[in-house]
Chains A and B, each alone.
Chain A
Amino acid sequence: MSEELLADVFFLLGFGVAGLLLPMLPLLLFRYIRPQHPSAVKMEPYESGVVQTTAPRRPFHMAYYNFALVFIVFEVETVLLFAVSPVLRDASWMDLLKAGIFIVLVADGLFYAWRKGALVWK
């Protein structure tokens, strides 16, 4: 059991190393074939030919953060459902009810966020 998991980790490590090396390989291989003529104008950010007037790293739109926060909460709930879902097939109606209560609690959160207008993009 534990040995199988250990084997999994080594396999995935090997796979990951291959996945990391292969995309980098052409970058390294063609390094000296590629033209390299950097110039001040070329290294400016591309903003449709206009010189950049505002810095991109400035305080911006909280709507994104709202969504990210609500997202984390729902993701935790989803993951808990993932843990419960495999045993539901052979479970009793009582067990389904227990999971159902959890889902209703999740839906409550969604309902609250909805009613408070947190899901509106502005």
Chain B
Amino acid sequence: MLDSDVQIALFAAFGGVAVLAALAAVLTRFLLRSIVAFGAFLTAIAGQFYLLAADFVALIQIFVYVGGVVVLILFALMLSAVGEKHPLAVSEHRGLGAVVAYAVGGWLVWAAFGEDLPEAGEVPGETVAFLGRAFLDQQLVAFEVIGIILLAAVVTALVIVRGERL
């Protein structure tokens, strides 16, 4: 049957894939494989979103992250061609990096097991319509501010990449 046990099992399976892909992304010595593994990681996370009834977010994850951000990172690799080796494999600050990584990771785990996580609300029947309505009503300011931030992002990107003056 399709009950919550199956749902939790599948969620855990996606989580396992995500962890494996993340490990592969970090441990491989080839930059290209690291990026591909990152793409696999993002896809597994998209699966988890879908299971959490956030189907719109799941597809955005694929659309924007796999189809956009991963392509951008690949472009960065190909155009700079600084080396095909993973930069972490030749890191000069291994000790410091480990401390930072364990601190951040430990903090995330601690937060995940914390008691003060918000309760999940009721799942709306039409998730996208709910989201769209929210953008036009309660979250209107956020919606328009995102527009402004993205405008700033275009400007900043061009300023940094092309050395433009404002």
Assess A/B contact in the complex (Cβ within 8 A).
yes
- Interface, chain A (partner B; CB < 8 A): 1-3, 5-10, 57-62, 64-66, 68-73, 75-77, 79-80, 82-88, 91, 95, 98-99, 101-102, 105-106, 108-110, 112-113, 116, 118
Chain A residues near B144: list those with CB within 8 A.
Answer: 98, 101-102, 105
Report the separation of the CA atoms of residues A86 and B80 in the bound assembly, to the nearest whole angstrom. 41
15 additional A-B residue pairs with CB within 8 Å, beyond A68-B71, A105-B147: A1-B123, A2-B53, A6-B2, A10-B10, A62-B161, A72-B68, A83-B128, A84-B132, A86-B126, A86-B132, A87-B136, A95-B136, A109-B151, A118-B162, A118-B164
Query: Which label, helix, strand, loop or mixed, suits the secondary structure of the A interface?
Result: helix
Main secondary structure of the interface of B (DSSP, over half): helix
Separation in Å of the A112 CB from the closest CB of chain B?
Answer: 6
Are B135 and A84 in touch, CB under 8 angstroms?
yes
Interface residues of B (CB under 8 A from A): 2, 6-7, 10, 47, 50-51, 53, 55-56, 60, 63-64, 67-69, 71-72, 75-76, 78-81, 84, 123, 125-126, 128-129, 131-133, 135-136, 140, 143-144, 146-148, 150-151, 153-155, 157-158, 161-162, 164
Contact partners of A82 in chain B: CB under 8 A: 128
Using known A-B contacts A6-B10, A72-B68, A87-B129, determine if residue A66 contacts B162 with beta carbons closer than 8 Å. Answer: yes
Write out the residue numbers on chain A whose beta carbons fall within 8 Å of the beta carbon of B68: 71-72, 75
